[in-house]
Amino acid sequence: MFISADASSITVAPDWHRPDPKVIHRIARHPVALIGDVTGRIGMMTSVIRPQNNLPRLTGAVLPVLTRDGDNLAIHRALDLAQAGDVLVIDAHAETHRAVFGDILGEICLARGVAGVIIDGATRDVEELEKLGLPVYARAVNPAGPSKAGPGSVGHPVAVGNVVCSAGDAVFADADGVAVLAAATLDEVAERLVAQDAFENALRDRIRRGDHAG
């Protein structure tokens, strides 16, 4: 870690498999709303988890983090394990009285190749994070900073925005919101998205031509 702190209170899950970046890329070509349409709206985070800068597009492998209210030691520990393309998905217990993320952690994310951050809690330093080019979704913004005492966990399932998120899942976010897909469903969802996109594009063409059904 880049801070001097005892991280022994942070439990870390055994190694997990990350989803295939190629299938993530295939799905990421489509908007989150369409992903929701083909998955029965399962795995869609609550609407209070919103982009906090003008960099809303975000896609990658879920790296789940559990923090204590107003504490970010587990996030620092998670960044020791992060790989390029990961998205930090942080369960901060929906508490917004203190931010658990800011520009210093944003700098570490960039150094580790982290694609972005989703927080069921608060962030701060939103202007600096936008300048860094790091997409950040959160429940709120609060200038009050965190403690660094733990406990917490990395790699174990968390609940963020009313969705259970596990290591190995994939996450897709845009200006409409956030969708989480289990790794085992990615190939099927990618195929269904192609079909649904073709159907909707054909419908748009008919509408623009004024070709009414029946």
Q: What pLDDT is stored for residue 180 in this prediction?
A: 98
Torsion from C-alpha of 76, 80, 83, 88, nearest 10 degrees = -20
| pTM, full prediction | 0.95
Give the Cα separation of 127 and 70 in Å (integer): 21
The distance from CA 102 to its chain's CA centroid, rounded to whole angstroms, is 16
Dmax of the chain from CA atoms? 70
Give the Cα separation of 58 and 16 in Å (integer): 21
Q: Give me 52's structure tokens.
A: 């906090």
Other beta carbons less than 10 A from residue 90's beta carbon:
28
Q: What pLDDT is stored for residue 56 in this prediction?
A: 82
Amino acid at 65: V
- 89: exposed, middle or buried (C-beta count within 10 Å: 0-12, 13-18, 19+)? buried
Please, what is the average pLDDT of the chain? 95
Q: What is the DSSP letter of 185?
A: G
Q: What is the pLDDT of residues 94-124, one digit of tens each?
A: 999 999 999 999 999 999 999 999 999 999 9
For residue 4, what pLDDT band results from cuts at 50, 70 and 90?
confident
Q: Which domains does the chain have, with CATH numbers?
A: 12-209 (3.50.30.40)
- 40: exposed, middle or buried (C-beta count within 10 Å: 0-12, 13-18, 19+)? exposed
Helices (DSSP H) in the chain: which residue ranges?
21-28, 32-38, 73-81, 103-112, 126-132, 186-209
- What 3-state class would DSSP assign to 152? strand
Q: What residues are paired with 126 via a beta bridge?
A: none
Q: What is the pLDDT of residues 126-173, one digit of tens each?
A: 999 999 999 999 999 999 999 999 999 999 999 999 999 999 999 999
Q: What is the pLDDT of residues 36-47, one digit of tens each?
A: 999 999 999 999
Per-residue pLDDT, averaged over 49-59, amounts to 93
Peptide bond into 51 cis (omega under 30): no
Among residues 41, 22, 21, 23, which one has the least CA distance to residue 32? 41
Helices (DSSP H) in 39-137: which residue ranges?
73-81, 103-112, 126-132
